[in-house]
């Protein structure tokens, strides 16, 4: 496959790189330290079109392809994964889900504001007892005629307090199993909708992660996405695309850690020469570079599959699995190359190492990706 980038794609890549270096980098250590959500920077990303990259222009989006989105995600993630995960959720899960499966009225009411960054959204699937297992939803949405009555708890929700629009997956008919699940649009401020305290996390500490509680929340029937019982399919289709965004985030974290390690190795001296001249360090850098390039090809392949209308379930899962493993391995090696300096915040690599870990967990753990992959390759 030819991954030669077009002039437009190169411009988008450079724009994301410039924004990351000029806007995200200053203050990134402090934001991580105090768990500060970069609200002002999010507004700027909305103005630049990063929050609705793949949305049709008629709904206020940039109308770009998935590969362009992946390129931007990689550059943003090199510097600040807390900011890039918010971009991923808004693009891959919320905007894509609404544009692909929402009604025209839902698109007009919510999508334009989401795509332009006027507001941001959240995707609410995970629960205390139902993380990657979407069939085990305990949150219920009882049919009350002209509305649903929503009850339950959602955990680990990115943009949990900053969002204005929430796509909530809930069980309407337990006897129907996964065919009894619905996806509902819930607005912030709805009566009975409560937001829990912000989670104190290991990594991506600037991202806004909360638990959400729904206590007899009335959701109008017109806020259901798709036909009755479509919620499980909606969640699975949306998550498949979400994996590509997280794979790109993992790729960016790995590339960012590698670039810092490479630069440091050419400056730091030991035993009379730059440490890059020592074979032990040079071999680490060679392995890092090779694995990152392999991960990049997997991520680009998944993006191209999506753009070309091919089934991207397998390629997306492989990209997410491998890129997240490379992100963790590369970040750890980057800390090792920095030695004692790698253990302090000033050099950034310790933060990238902490951020890398979550890429192996959200959008389905590595084990979940292996289930998806094995089912795909064994079904024939």
Residues with a catalytic annotation lie at: 363
Q: Are 169 and 139 in contact (CB under 8 A)?
A: yes
- The β-bridge partners of 214 are 152, 193
What φ, ψ does residue 52 adopt, rounded to 5°?
-140, 50
Cβ-in-10-Å burial (0-12, 13-18, 19+) of 361 comes to middle
Report yes or no: 358 and 203 within 8 Å, Cβ to Cβ.
yes
Q: How many residues in the chain?
A: 380
Q: Tell me the torsion sign for CA atoms 109, 114, 117, 122.
A: positive
Any idea of the CA torsion for 126, 128, 134, 138, to the nearest 10 degrees?
Answer: -120
Report the C-alpha gap between 283 and 279 in whole angstroms: 6
Using a 10 angstrom Cβ sphere, with 0-12 exposed, 13-18 middle and 19 or more buried, the burial of residue 307 is middle
Q: State the greatest distance between any 2 C-alpha atoms of the chain, in Å, as a whole number.
A: 78
Q: Which long-range contacts (CB under 8 A, 24 or more apart) does 333-340 make?
A: 333/257, 333/261, 333/284, 333/287, 333/288, 334/257, 334/258, 334/260, 334/261, 334/288, 336/284, 337/261, 337/264, 337/265, 337/275, 337/281, 337/284, 337/285, 338/260, 338/261, 338/264, 338/268, 339/268
Of 100, 129, 99, 127, nearest to 114 by C-alpha is 99
For 6, the enclosing helix (H) or strand (E) is none
H/E stretch holding 32 reads helix 28-34
């Amino acid at each position: 496959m030819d991954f030669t980038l077009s002039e437009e794609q190169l411009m988008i890549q450079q724009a994301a790189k410039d924004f990351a270096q000029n806007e995200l980098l200053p203050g990134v250590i402090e934001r991580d330290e105090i768990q500060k959500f970069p609200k002002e920077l999010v507004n700027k990303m909305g103005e630049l079109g990063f929050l609705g990259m793949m949305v049709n222009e008629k709904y206020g989006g940039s109308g770009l392809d998935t590969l362009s989105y992946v390129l931007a995600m990689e550059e943003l993630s090199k510097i600040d994964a807390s900011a890039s995960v918010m971009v991923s959720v808004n693009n891959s899960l919320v905007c894509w889900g609404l544009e692909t499966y929402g009604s025209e009225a839902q698109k007009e009411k919510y999508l334009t504001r989401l795509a332009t960054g006027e507001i941001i959204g959240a995707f609410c699937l995970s629960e205390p007892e139902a993380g990657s297992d979407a069939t085990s939803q305990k949150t219920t949405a009882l049919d009350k005629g002209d509305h649903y009555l929503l009850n339950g708890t959602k955990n680990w929700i990115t943009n949990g307090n900053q969002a204005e629009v929430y796509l909530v997956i809930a069980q309407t008919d337990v006897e129907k199993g996964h065919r009894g699940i619905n996806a509902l649009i819930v607005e912030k401020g709805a009566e009975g909708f409560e937001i829990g305290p912000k989670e104190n996390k290991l990594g991506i500490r600037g991202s806004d992660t909360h638990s959400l509680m729904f206590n007899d929340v009335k959701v109008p029937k017109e806020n259901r996405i798709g036909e009755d019982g479509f919620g499980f399919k909606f969640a699975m289709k949306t998550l498949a695309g979400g994996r590509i965004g997280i794979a790109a985030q993992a790729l960016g974290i790995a590339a960012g850690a590698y670039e810092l390690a490479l630069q440091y190795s050419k400056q730091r001296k030991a035993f009379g020469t730059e440490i890059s001249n020592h074979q032990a360090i040079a071999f680490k850098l060679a392995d890092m570079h090779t694995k990152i390039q392999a991960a990049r090809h997997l991520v680009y392949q998944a993006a191209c599959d999506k753009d070309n209308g091919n089934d991207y379930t397998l390629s997306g899962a492989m990209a997410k699995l491998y890129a997240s493993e490379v992100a963790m391995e590369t970040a750890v090696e980057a800390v090792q190359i920095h030695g004692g300096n790698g253990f302090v915040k000033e050099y950034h690599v310790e933060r990238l190492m902490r951020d890398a870990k979550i890429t192996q967990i959200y959008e389905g753990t590595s084990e979940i990706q292996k289930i998806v992959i094995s089912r795909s390759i064994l079904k024939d």
